Structure 1
């Protein structure tokens, strides 16, 4: 089973494959900040420190809120992201505030 390591609090938890980062943070007291749970507010933005290859594909809500630049830097929305293997995540309150203030981008449908 995959592990999620929450670097800010130095806590690791074992989770089932295809588990949502935010739901597991809430369930096991991982402390990832959150508000809406739907990909709109940006409060749950996390930096994937290790294991980005063990994540599912980027969702439209993440593209709209984070944009290609932040996604390329390893940021994801914990409410939208599922893990298939071991990962390590961190978050920063000041950066979270910046993401919350970002205007939602239009995403071209492919």
Structure 2
């Protein structure tokens, strides 16, 4: 299985993550401060800033786009419950 480096800036930790895993799954395991309320992409609590590797995450779905707009998310913000790792990325909670 392919792996990528996922860095959580809030806890200064880089881990090897399987490609295709959602950021929230790794965040939970390592104790990052990315919080969540659902896992379905419709509440917006797991909003994160992608500092590096924006293109190394899956494209936002229609549902994620809607929630990002409703939450006035910035250009490099994503939902950790929706973004899947495709390559190296650096993220932090908003």
Output the TM-score relative to the length of structure 1: 0.75
**Structure with more contact order per residue of length (Cα contacts < 8 Å, sep ≥ 6):** 2
Output the TM-score relative to the length of structure 2: 0.86
The offset of 1:46, in angstroms, is 0.4
The offset of 1:28, in angstroms, is 2.6
Instruction: Tell me which residue corresponds to 2:16.
Output: 14
Residues 56-78 of structure 1 show CA distances to partners (whole Å, capped at 9, x for unaligned) of: 111122111112x736x111000
Matches within 5 A, 1:20-39: 20-39=22-41
CA radius of gyration, larger in: 1
Instruction: Tell me which residue corresponds to 1:3.
Output: 5
Structure 2 unmatched ranges of 5 or more: none
- Report the number of matched residues: 91
Of Structure 1 and Structure 2, which has the larger fraction of its residues in helix? 1
Residues 51-101 of structure 1 show CA distances to partners (whole Å, capped at 9, x for unaligned) of: 01111111122111112x736x11100000101111001123xxxxxxxxx
Instruction: Tell me which residue corresponds to 1:70.
Output: 73
The offset of 1:25, in angstroms, is 0.9
- Alignment partner of 1:15: what SS? strand
- Alignment partner of 1:9: what SS? coil
Segments ≥4 residues shifted beyond 3 Å:
none
Distance in 1 between the 2:55 and 2:87 partners?
8
